[in-house]
Structure formats: C-alpha cells, structure tokens
Amino acid sequence: MFRRILIANRGEIACRVIRTARRLGIGTVAVHSEADARALHVEMADEAVCIGPPAPAESYLRGDAIIEAALATGAEAIHPGYGFLSENPDFVEAVERAGLVFIGPSAEAIRAMGLKDAAKRLMEEAGVPVVPGWHGDNQDPEHLAGAAEAIGWPVLIKAVAGGGGKGMRRVDRAEDFPAALEAARSEAEKAFGDGRVLIEKFIARPRHIEVQIFGDGRRAVHLFERDCSAQRRHQKVIEEAPAPGMTAEMRDAMGQAAVRAAEAIGYAGAGTVEFIVDASEGLRPDRFWFMEMNTRLQVEHPVTEAVTGIDLVEWQLRVAAGEELPLTQERITLRGHAVEARLYAERPEAGFLPATGRIAHLSFPDDVRIETGVRAGDEISPWYDPMIAKIITHGPNREIALQRMALTLEETEIAGTATNLAFLSRLVGLPAFRAGDLDTAIIDRHLEALVRAAAPTDAEIALAALAAAGLERAAMLADPLLGFHLWQPLVQTVPLLRQEEGKGEERIEVRIATLGPGRHRVEIDGKRLTLEHDAGGWRIDGAKTALRVRRAGGEVAVFGGTNPVFTLPDPLARGDDAEGADGTILAPMPGLVRQIAVAPGARVTRGQRLAVLEAMKMEHSLTAPFDGVVAAVLAEEGVQIEAGAPILVLEEEGEAAA
Ligand code: ADP
Ligand code: ADP
Ligand code: MG
C-alpha cells in the first residue's frame, strides 16, 4: 500500500479521499489554489502545496504543477477526485511518466470512453444496448438534420465531448433544429474546445439509471444501480440506490451490461456506466440503453457505499496499489435504501442561478453522513462548483430513507448565501417523488410548486424579529438570577425586509416587549405571540417548536419550517438608529473574542473601545456607536463566534429606566 498520496482536487471530494486515506494509514498531500489556502481540505491533509492562482486553468487543471508537488513531497500516487483532471488521459500518461501511480483507470480506458460517439461504437461491438441515434464524422448541418428526421422527433443533440449537461439540446420539431444545433455547437466549443455533436432519439419518460462498476484490469464487478432521475438542467439533484421499482431481472440485465462494458476496455478502478431507461411502461429489461461511461468516482458514490457497506475510495486505493478486487460479485450485497441530496449555493427560483457568498453559519445534524468541503466562515467563490455539501441518509426501505432525509433537511442550518435547501425539502416532500414516480422531467414538471416559497408564518416572523434585535443570543445566555435587572421591560419596533421573487420587497414591522430573561411578547399586525427560550429551544405561546433562528450579518434565517430569510434594513446605520432602540454590537465577521473591554453597567462614550475581535490574523476593535450604558455582555472572551453574533448591548442613558 502507498505510504503517501496526493489529492489533485478540492472541496468535499478531496476531504472525503483524505478521510479514507487516513483510516488506511496513508499520509496525504493536498494541493490548493491561492483562493483555497485556508480551505478545509488543506487543513485536513498532512501537507499542502499551493499550485497557483484561483482560476482552475492556472491551478487545479495544471497537471505539471501537480506532478511537481507530488514529487517534491514524496507522494507515490495521485487521486484525481472527480471533475478537473480526473478524465484527462494526457494527465494520466504524464503521471505515469513521472514514475507515479494514477489512482484510476488507464489512459487508454479513459480515451475509449472519453468521446460519447466512440464510446457508443465500442459498446455496440461489446453487445451493450446503446441509445438509438446517429453518430459519425459528417457534421454538415443538412446531414445532421436529415439524421434527426430519420431517427424521428423528439431528438437530443449532444456534444461528443460533453459532460455536466453542457452542449445538449432537445429538439421537438424540424423547424427548431438549425437553431438548436447552432446553440449546442457553440456551447460545446466553449466548454470542451470541440464542437462536434451526435444525435440521439429522445427517450420517452426517461429515467437516468446508472450502474457502479469496479474493475482491477482483469475482471469487473458491479455494485448495483443508482437512480439519478431528479435533475435540473440535465444535472443531478437527488440520487438514490436502489432505483425505485427495480426488478431482479432488470437489475441483472443492467449489471451484466455494465460489467461487459467495463471488461471490454480492461477497466481498472471505480467507474459508472450511465443508462437511459424508457419507463413509460415500468422498468423492462429491453428498455435501457447505454448513454456514456464516467471513468472516475462519481459525485453520488456515497449512496452505493451506504447500501453495500463498501468504501469505494478504499477499493480505489487498494486496486491502484496492485491488489485484486476485494470481493467477488456474489459477495456484494444490497442492504436497505440510501438517498443523497446535493446542497448547492444557488437560487432555484431564479433558474438555479449559482450563488456566491460567505457562509456565516453552517450546521448539520450529526447522525447522518455529510460530505462537505466547507465550514462556517468559508467563501463560496465564483471560481468553483457551488456545491456546499452532500447529505446522505440510509434506511431499511425507501420511505424511511426519504423520511430521514426530510428531517435532516429540516435540521440543517445554513446562512450567508442563497441555497437550494428549501427547494430540496419541497422536492423530497413532493407526492410524485415520494411515490417513486420518477423521470428526468420531474423537477421541470413541478417547478412552480418547488420554487414557490411559502409565506413565512407569524412564529417565524416573530423569531426573526428577536434575532434581528439580538435577543435570541441574549435569551440563551441570560442568567435568570444575575442578569435580569439589566433586562427591564424593553419595547422596541423591529423592521424586517423580505424579498419575494418577482414581487419586490415586503416590509414587516414587529413590536417586541421583553418580559424577562428569554421571554418576549411579540406583536405582528395586531396578533400577539409569547416567545420563551429554555434549554430545549423555543416555546411559542407555551408550545415547544422545532423552529430555530440565526442572525448572520445583515440577514436573519429561520430554519425548521418554511426557511424564510429576512434582511435587516441598512445594517450599517443600526447603531445610530434615531429611536436608539437597538445598540446591539455585532461581530462584523467570524472571529475569536480577544477581549471584552467593558462590564455590564459601565458608562461609555461614543468611539470608546468595547471589545476586540481577532479575525483573519488581525485584531478589530469594536467601538461604541453612541454614548450610553452597557446593558449586557453577550459574548465571552476566548470564544470563537460567527459573523453577526451579538457581542454586547448598549443602551442610551435613561432608556433602561423608561
Ligand atoms: P456526475 O454525474 O458525477 O454529477 P458530472 O459530469 O455532472 O458528473 O460532473 C461531476 C463533477 O465534475 C461536477 O461537480 C462538475 O461540476 C465537475 N465537472 C464536470 N465537468 C468539469 C470540467 N470540465 N472541469 C471541471 N469540473 C468539471
Ligand atoms: P453528460 O455527459 O452531460 O452527463 P449524458 O449523456 O450523461 O451527458 O446525459 C445527461 C442527462 O441528459 C441524462 O442524465 C438524462 O437526463 C438526459 N438524457 C441524455 N440522453 C438522453 C436521451 N437520449 N433521451 C432522454 N434524455 C436523455
Ligand atoms: Mg452523464
């Protein structure tokens, strides 16, 4: 076995590979761009090498710099993860020329499967059913239009070099063909530097079902199927194993076809054979066709690990180190059902536009598998894939696995960037999805309902207002015996703003009367609620609720319900608020509380130093925005806090007595 490997990737997959390597006693070297100098994968690895500026072309795609880093650190092998250089045969050859091991298939195997047209030809020869269509060298538009006509509408134009759903267009009528061809070509040219296309029959009621295979160069086994039909823009959102409605007969046929595909190219390592299935009459063994093979570990591999109990990265490392396949086909068994949801920084309501931003707060329940490469304080930058985390749940059957997913999504908290969290919750709850009534259009068909945010409830608005006023932390920290004299009934009006897609901004005014430590009466539009906080969380009008609230910078997010996000009007002007109602001093960024310079009850003057926060290796002084009295200290020295966390509360003199 290797003593040390280098991981030529970033994010969750780099972290995931490091975890297994450590378990096997293998040392790890991370590479990173300048943008990732403080990234989680760098922190987790034993050593790290900076390989260039943020742009992938100048860092993670620089094979030469990566190989140099491996040689310099004494790594014996390179794990490519997925994306980046993972399916680049020239890189594989360069790695081998340098005397290193590439943890993955041979350059020839990658080349054989690299172009969709050549791969289909090869699979036809190996007796694997391929999607009916046309692939060839003649790229003349007239000729392609004729081929489409002969196949019959609708057809799918695909880039032969395609990946990630790029360069793909569905065409329903002859008159739309020329424009679609033009669009597919230019997209493919831009993304892959290769504008060639092929034409496929568009399969009716298509389901994407893929088979995980594993080879050692001599023989191959399959590890059952995954259903990845829940897609947006031809990209996977939720994946599961096994496929709903799968029969033993169909599983056998697909597994054998996939193994045939792998053995036809002497495949070594983890790979996935993707099939498109016509599910218009249920799953039938004569209705699946080869689409493409991904010659790497797939994003959604954890669902297979969950149902087989096999660590696929361990197998990758062992096979790359020269071992035979650890198990024979008969010894690989399927247990229960697993689901993976991809949490993205994106805005589903705006056509799934990728989002960026600093993650101010991130928390997952700890009893499920989470694969992530970020933590609170990290930036989702425009440079890389906006995936934040993969959430994987397992259960004895599909219903329980999905139920656990629903609960996990409810318990997940993320603030600071737009995400698809609420969208995922709605998708998991969609009756058609629950029923296993899947096809690749399921998201598009229900898009309206999936992206429409429900109006926030009064309870959510009330909690958001408390957080906006900095009272949610105070509630948790308040000591009923000591601190209460500082918490005289305090009445304030808190404005919240809510952005609604296509509807503009709504302003909500909430009145809060603080009754005691962690006890508040909240009034919204004439309706009154009593909110109390105790060790178990919040009680609303006496009843315990699963809702949680987080303030992060200028935003407040409520979790556990409809997941609304509110913005606070003009956060910079808060300290100078004419009403003087809100003198909460907030952490402007995540950091360590170095010093609290004042005690409760202290009289301070405008500009006086109140606290010192250490962040990004610098100290930031927080000063009094006005003359006043320190009403409460809410943070402790030596404690790491998040952006937007209240540090102390300042009151104008005389206010407390009012
Ligand atoms: P999967 O079926 O595993 O989702 P995809 O083909 O969609 O496979 O891509 C896998 C991952 O690799 C995705 O996270 C995607 O962002 C990334 N990726 C795909 N193509 C490229 C590329 N050309 N360069 C860098 N990353 C890529
Ligand atoms: P990529 O390399 O971009 O992943 P694929 O060939 O794997 O491209 O196709 C991506 C997705 O497009 C599939 O998961 C499926 O949803 C859809 N798709 C591909 N081929 C067909 C087809 N012939 N008929 C219907 N849908 C298809
Ligand atoms: Mg694909």
Q: Residue 136 C-alpha to ligand 3 middle, in angstroms? A: 20
pLDDT band of residue 646 (cuts 50, 70, 90) is confident
- The predicted model gives 68-73 an average pLDDT of 98
Q: Quick check: is 136 in a domain?
A: yes
Q: Quick check: is 113 in a domain?
A: no
Q: Which atom of ligand 2 is nearest to the CA of 274?
A: 7
For residue 90, the domain's CATH number is 3.40.50.20
- The runs of H, that is alpha helices, within 29-160 are 40-44, 63-73, 89-97, 107-114, 116-125, 141-151
Amino acid type, 421 = L
Active site residue 296: yes
Return the pLDDT at 132: 92
The pTM score is: 0.84
Same domain, yes or no: 424 and 289: yes
Residue of 579, 571, 586, 564 lying closest to 493 (CA atoms): 579
- Mutate which of 385, 390, 440 for ligand 1? The one with the most ligand atoms within 8 Å of its CB, which is 385
Domain boundary among 511, 540, 567: 567
- The response to whether residue 162 sits with its C-beta less than 6 Å from ligand 2 reads yes
Q: Quick check: is 108 in a domain?
A: no
Of the ligands numbered here, which is closest to the C-alpha atom of 290?
Answer: 2
Q: What's CA 261's distance to the chain center, in Å?
A: 31
Mean pLDDT of all residues in the chain?
A: 91
Structural domain range at position 176: 132-201
Min mean pLDDT across 47-61, 145-159, 499-513, 617-631 is at 617-631
Q: Which atom of ligand 2 is nearest to the CA of 131?
A: 23
Q: Residue 369 C-alpha to ligand 3 middle, in angstroms? A: 24
pLDDT band of residue 638 (cuts 50, 70, 90) is confident
Partners of 354 in the beta sheet? 346
Which residue puts its alpha carbon closest to atom 22 of ligand 2? Answer: 202
Residue 532 has a CB neighbour count (10 Å cut-off) of 18
Return the pLDDT at 36: 97
Q: Residue 169 C-alpha to ligand 3 middle, in angstroms? A: 14
pLDDT band of residue 234 (cuts 50, 70, 90) is confident
Q: Which atom of ligand 1 is nearest to the CA of 83?
A: 12
Cβ neighbours of residue 286 under 8 Å, at least 6 residues apart? none
Q: Which atom of ligand 1 is nearest to the CA of 298?
A: 3
Q: Does 247 have pLDDT greater than 60? A: yes
- The response to whether residue 292 sits with its C-beta less than 6 Å from ligand 2 reads yes
Q: Which atom of ligand 2 is nearest to the CA of 166?
A: 3
- The response to whether residue 88 sits with its C-beta less than 6 Å from ligand 1 reads no
Same domain, yes or no: 391 and 488: no
Return the pLDDT at 353: 87
- The response to whether residue 383 sits with its C-beta less than 6 Å from ligand 1 reads no
Return the pLDDT at 581: 42
Same domain, yes or no: 522 and 606: no
Structure confidence by residue, pLDDT tens digits, 352-373: 988 989 999 999 999 999 999 9
Contact between residue 348 and residue 420 where contact means Cβ atoms under 8 Å apart: yes
Residue with tokens 């429409």: 452
- State the helix-helix crossing angle for 141-151 and 177-192, rounded to 10 degrees: 110
For residue 139, the domain's CATH number is 3.30.1490.20
Domain boundary among 86, 103, 120: 103
- The response to whether residue 518 sits with its C-beta less than 6 Å from ligand 1 reads no
Q: Which residue has the higher pLDDT, 80 or 553?
A: 80
Contact between residue 5 and residue 317 where contact means Cβ atoms under 8 Å apart: yes
Classified as helix, coil or strand, 301 is helix
Q: List phi, psi (to 5°) of 467.
A: -65, -40
Same domain, yes or no: 279 and 415: yes
Cα 424 to Cα 542: distance, rounded to the nearest angstrom: 30
Q: Residue 270 C-alpha to ligand 3 middle, in angstroms? A: 15
Q: Quick check: is 126 in a domain?
A: no
DSSP single-letter state for residue 104: S
Structure confidence by residue, pLDDT tens digits, 266-284: 999 999 999 999 999 999 9
Min mean pLDDT across 109-118, 392-401, 581-590, 642-651 is at 581-590
Q: Residue 510 C-alpha to ligand 3 middle, in angstroms? A: 49
Return the pLDDT at 579: 31
Same domain, yes or no: 407 and 289: yes
Same domain, yes or no: 163 and 273: no
Where does residue 585 fall: left (phi above 0), alpha (psi -120 to 50 degrees), or beta otherwise? beta
Percent above pLDDT 90 for the chain: 74
Contact between residue 616 and residue 590 where contact means Cβ atoms under 8 Å apart: no
Structure confidence by residue, pLDDT tens digits, 339-352: 999 999 999 998 89
Contact between residue 390 and residue 405 where contact means Cβ atoms under 8 Å apart: no
DSSP symbols for 538-595: EEETTEE---EEEEETTEEEEESSS--EEE-S-GGGGGG-TT----EEE-SSSEEEEE
- The response to whether residue 83 sits with its C-beta less than 6 Å from ligand 1 reads yes
User: Which two tokens mark 158?
Assistant: 């695909």
- The predicted model gives 193-211 an average pLDDT of 95
Residue of 299, 225, 234, 295 lying closest to 261 (CA atoms): 295
For residue 501, the domain's CATH number is 3.30.700
Alpha-carbon distances of 521 from 135, 467, 514, 550, rounded to whole Å? 69, 14, 6, 19
Q: Quick check: is 124 in a domain?
A: no
Q: Does 546 have pLDDT greater than 80? A: yes
Structure confidence by residue, pLDDT tens digits, 444-463: 999 999 999 889 999 999 99
Of the ligands numbered here, which is closest to the C-alpha atom of 239?
Answer: 1
For residue 361, the domain's CATH number is 3.30.470.20
Return the pLDDT at 95: 98
Q: Quick check: is 263 in a domain?
A: yes
Of the ligands numbered here, which is closest to the C-alpha atom of 117?
Answer: 2
- The response to whether residue 272 sits with its C-beta less than 6 Å from ligand 1 reads no
Structure confidence by residue, pLDDT tens digits, 289-318: 999 999 999 999 999 999 999 999 999 999
Q: Residue 356 C-alpha to ligand 2 middle, in angstroms? A: 27
Same domain, yes or no: 42 and 167: no
Residue with tokens 């898009």: 447
- The predicted model gives 557-581 an average pLDDT of 66
Contact between residue 547 and residue 560 where contact means Cβ atoms under 8 Å apart: yes
Same domain, yes or no: 170 and 29: no
Q: Quick check: is 122 in a domain?
A: no
Return the pLDDT at 552: 82
Amino acid type, 131 = V
- The predicted model gives 631-653 an average pLDDT of 85
Of the ligands numbered here, which is closest to the C-alpha atom of 159?
Answer: 2
Q: Residue 208 C-alpha to ligand 3 middle, in angstroms? A: 9
Classified as helix, coil or strand, 478 is coil
Return the pLDDT at 236: 95
Same domain, yes or no: 440 and 465: no
Of the ligands numbered here, which is closest to the C-alpha atom of 440?
Answer: 2
The residue from 10, 196, 296, 398 that is catalytic is 296
Cβ neighbours of residue 179 under 8 Å, at least 6 residues apart? none
Same domain, yes or no: 511 and 478: yes
Contact between residue 399 and residue 414 where contact means Cβ atoms under 8 Å apart: no
Contact between residue 470 and residue 586 where contact means Cβ atoms under 8 Å apart: yes
Q: Does 408 have pLDDT greater than 60? A: yes
Buried b or exposed e, range 251-275, using 16+ CB within 10 angstroms: bebbbebbbbbbbbbbbbbbbbbbb
Same domain, yes or no: 502 and 650: no
Q: Residue 132 C-alpha to ligand 2 middle, in angstroms? A: 13
Return the pLDDT at 621: 79
Return the pLDDT at 476: 52
Q: Quick check: is 577 in a domain?
A: no
Structure confidence by residue, pLDDT tens digits, 9-56: 999 999 999 999 999 999 999 999 999 999 999 999 999 999 999 999
DSSP symbols for 487-505: ---EEEEEEEEEEETTTEE
Give the number of residues written for the chain: 658
- Mutate which of 168, 233, 296 for ligand 2? The one with the most ligand atoms within 8 Å of its CB, which is 168
Contact between residue 13 and residue 29 where contact means Cβ atoms under 8 Å apart: no
For residue 635, the domain's CATH number is 2.40.50.100
pLDDT band of residue 486 (cuts 50, 70, 90) is very low
Same domain, yes or no: 218 and 88: no
- The response to whether residue 340 sits with its C-beta less than 6 Å from ligand 1 reads no
DSSP symbols for 318-361: HHHTTPPPSS-GGG----SEEEEEEEESEEGGGTTEE--EE--E
User: Which two tokens mark 576?
Assistant: 């100078």
Return the pLDDT at 565: 92
- The response to whether residue 114 sits with its C-beta less than 6 Å from ligand 2 reads no
Q: Which atom of ligand 1 is nearest to the CA of 192?
A: 23
- The response to whether residue 132 sits with its C-beta less than 6 Å from ligand 2 reads no
pLDDT band of residue 582 (cuts 50, 70, 90) is low
Q: Which atom of ligand 1 is nearest to the CA of 296?
A: 3
- The response to whether residue 131 sits with its C-beta less than 6 Å from ligand 2 reads yes
User: Which two tokens mark 426?
Assistant: 């709605």
Total count of domains within the chain = 5
Return the pLDDT at 654: 66
Q: Residue 291 C-alpha to ligand 2 middle, in angstroms? A: 7
Domain boundary among 524, 541, 567: 567
